[in-house]
Structure 1
Amino acid sequence: MLTGRLVANSSLANYYSWVPLPASLRHRDFRLLVTGTATSALGNAITPVALAFAVLDLGGSATELGLVVAAFALAEVVTTLFGGVLGDRLPRKLMMEGSAAASAVTQLVMAVTLIGGWATIPLLGVVGALNGCVAALSQPSSRAMTRLTVPPDHLGSAVSVRALLQTSAATVGFVAGGLLVATVGSGWAIGVDAATYAVAALCYSRLRVEQATPEGERGSIVADLREGAREVLAHQWLWLLIGQALVYHLFYGGASGVLGPIVIGDEFGRSAWGLAMGTLMAGFVVGGLVCLRWRPRRSLYVGTVLLSLTALFPLAMALSDHLWVVMLGAFLHGFGLQVFDVFWDLAIQQNVDPDKLARVYSFDMVGSFVARPLGLALTGPIALAVGMQRWLVVVGVVMGASALLALRSAEVRGLTVRPAVPSDSAQLPHLPSEPPAPVSR
């Protein structure tokens, strides 16, 4: 039996030596993690499409649809901070597993009520808010978990692979959501999301990770939040770029969600907006592929420079009457944002204390998205007052300038990727560099 295991391990080593697999995917726990997160991303992209048509099919207005979506967004923002505290207090594996299982139940309830014809718009709002709460509880833990599933020298690969797989899954999910709603209805589409959460919960339950828990008596939740805030404020690059993300979502959220479909639809036709969104997602995927191989020493500086490319999409919508220019702007927007996101995540993973990591991620997520609902609400009135094209120019200038202004920080310019120190205990055995030779009989 022992001999059989040695032969199997040797065959596995030989296989890994010549299959072009990213280093992080050689680790079982990381494979389980990204399978769960990518599956959840697939389902999470289906639900917004299905939920929108579910509300409209129930006779809801645009205002009622906005209230249902806002209920989910508000619950998610409020709960994320507490998810960060719990992620540093409790085992992150438990947080992720429990959150995914609870999300599967809430989405199943929503699906059953829609399929059975018992759903109402207030019920969808309540269940949606509940789902936002339970899903948000695990998000900081999920992002902090990456560091626990790979050795330090494979962390860069892990961050890049995870971002690429989640983006690719979300791209497929957006398309699948429309197809499912058109063929089987909103209820069954949301049922698929429930199934993806169940798969994720199963993946997380099989993780074998060790998380160091703080010793001694813990303070209150408020004290833990205060400690997390101090950690954020201790790093200028961290709080500065969280502030930049707040500005980005405040301006771009409305430009994309409100003005984009109107401006592009009137100029090129409604199908052109879908093409623009698909091109933007293609930029995300290409950016993720680039980050698998490219990791500059001053990656945060490079990522922030490329983040300024996001300004090109609203500027192209405002100033160009050629569809290919708009598509190019959308692609570069997605490419620049994805590269920045990967390098930003890596900077946090390498430079924040492990026992504060979940709380820092919670402040990152809340700080980034807290102003987006306000931007969505104000974009329409402001654009009507000053003109849609003119406001899109303002949006593009603010997005580009805010990214470039962040480069004035010496910390943003000077933060470097830490050289990886191999962790012998966490790596696979030495692997030969050539494919295994055929065995002669």
Structure 2
Amino acid sequence: MRTGSTTTTAFRLLLAGRTVTSLGSAVAPVALALAVLHLGGQATELGLVVATYALVEVLTTLVAGVVGDRLPRTLLMRGSAWLACVAQGVVAVSLIAGWATVPLLAVMGGVNGALAALGGPSSRAVLPQTVPPEALPNAVSAVRLAQNTAMVLGFSLAGVLVGFFGAGWAIAVDAATYAVAALCYTAMRVGPHATGEPGSLLGDLGAGAREVLRHTWLWVLIAQALVYHLFYGGVQGVVGPVVVTRDFGEQAWGLALAALMTGFMVGGLITLRYRPTRLLFSGTVFLGLTACFPLAMALRPGLPVILLGAFLHGLGLEIFSVNWDLAIQQQIPPDKLARVFAFDHIGSFVMRPLGLAVTGPVAEALGQSTWLLVTAGVMAGSTALALLPPSVRTLRRAPAGHQAPGSSAAG
């Protein structure tokens, strides 16, 4: 085990890198969307650019999980950050110089999706290598709290940057955040993580999938996340903005998203002190609060109640997410951790594009309020079903000083 001061320094560098990247990642989508529209693109072209990013990210994430369990994770993190800095720099220069096109933005969106995926699993899996086991719960909470705060600032900053300086300079800020993150990751010094016997890509992916299936609590809650994103993704991206702005004005949806992010931050603060023994049971119960937002939009009792529903949604989701990340960090062997995080990411988000595509037509056919009620019921019902397996209800927080199975002293 490394000394406490070295471990603390490594964690601070990881925290800084992930926080500044979250800031830039909140700025970039807003700037990119406005850039596509300024180039004459319509909703179809914008959807193509966003879909290219999402598709390539999904295809790359599983490979990134395998590589993150084989190579030094900080190497992947700083390499992907430097390359993302260059890629976003190219996008920024093309917009500033006036030679950007929608196809170019789509191609670069795919490149950036691959680079984001390349370092993603490693940046989550490296966390236990930067703190002592007894400090891991607070570390998970602190990282998520910092990232959520940075995203709130990034969303607010994006409009100002684009409005005063243009989309190109806003993308340049995102490129600069990747450079700062790369410097942080370059300065990180962590011990080596445990690795299993090297095998083929498919063999390593199979080992990661078997590790997921070996833990009932793990695959059950990944399946629940799949259902959540399939239904709620379309609500937040399609139906919610239409319903709220129609009934309460254009500013109301911005207020709802602000209340949602406030819930995230308050939830993060709560997890710094709230440490339930049965962490997944408690987290999943709080996850049931996510049904409050679509339910409030369906019933439309007034804007304050909708804002409260959004706040409770963010609060419950964040408390669950912290306990979920901690359970994975404590229960999964280090040599499979990046792959498990990759499967978690894929399982959680792979159905979101489908939800975004079908929500509009389905909501029009059934009625928007009816679909919001269906979504709230599915979210609450899937959460209740996720509590049925005994392992979800009984999995306990590891005691202080606990190391995940298969951990070595070097990690």
Match of 2:11 in 1: 30
Please list the CA deviations of residues 251-285 of structure 1 after superposition, one character each: whole Å capped at 9, or x if unmatched.
00000000111000000001000000001000000
CA–CA distance in structure 2, aligned partners of residues 275 and 109 of structure 1: 34
CA–CA distance in structure 2, aligned partners of residues 107 and 421 of structure 1: 41
Q: How does 1:28-427 map to 2 (within 5 A)?
A: 28-214=9-195, 216=197, 218-421=198-401
Query: 1:215: how far off?
Result: 6.0
Contact 2:298 2:373 in 1 (8 A): yes
Q: 5+ residue gaps in structure 2?
A: 404-408
Contact 2:196 2:335 in 1 (8 A): no
Question: How high is the TM-score relative to the length of structure 2?
Answer: 0.96
Q: Count residues in correspondence.
A: 401
Q: What SS does the aligned partner of 2:400 have?
A: coil
Q: What SS does the aligned partner of 1:293 have?
A: coil
**Residues 66 and 25 from structure 1, CA distance in 2 versus in 1: closer, same or farther, beyond 3 angstroms?**
farther
Please list the CA deviations of residues 150-179 of structure 1 after superposition, one character each: whole Å capped at 9, or x if unmatched.
000100110010110011101111111111
CA–CA distance in structure 2, aligned partners of residues 287 and 339 of structure 1: 5
Contact 1:24 1:155 in 2 (8 A): no
Q: What SS does the aligned partner of 1:208 have?
A: coil
Question: How high is the TM-score relative to the length of structure 1?
Answer: 0.89
CA–CA distance in structure 1, aligned partners of residues 90 and 77 of structure 2: 20
Q: Which of structure 1's runs of 4+ aligned residues deviate more than 6 A?
A: 23-26
Contact 2:280 2:320 in 1 (8 A): yes
Query: 1:421: how far off?
Result: 2.1
Contact 1:24 1:150 in 2 (8 A): no
Please list the CA deviations of residues 178-215 of structure 1 after superposition, one character each: whole Å capped at 9, or x if unmatched.
11111111110010000000000000000110123536
CA–CA distance in structure 1, aligned partners of residues 136 and 65 of structure 2: 21
Deviates most, 192-201 or 204-213:
204-213
CA–CA distance in structure 2, aligned partners of residues 53 and 25 of structure 1: 43
Q: Residue type matched to 2:131 in 1?
A: V
Q: Residue type matched to 1:58 in 2?
A: L
Query: 1:313: how far off?
Result: 0.2
Q: What SS does the aligned partner of 1:27 have?
A: helix
Query: 1:352: how far off?
Result: 0.3
Q: What SS does the aligned partner of 1:420 have?
A: coil
Q: What SS does the aligned partner of 1:230 have?
A: helix
Query: 1:389: how far off?
Result: 0.9
Q: Residue type matched to 2:66 in 1?
A: V
**Residues 26 and 214 from structure 1, CA distance in 2 versus in 1: closer, same or farther, beyond 3 angstroms?**
closer
Aligned CA RMSD, in angstroms, stands at 1.5
Query: 1:25: how far off?
Result: 11
Contact 2:31 2:167 in 1 (8 A): yes
Fraction of identical pairs, as percent: 59
Q: Residue type matched to 1:182 in 2?
A: G
CA–CA distance in structure 1, aligned partners of residues 173 and 347 of structure 2: 31
Deviates most, 26-35 or 300-309:
26-35
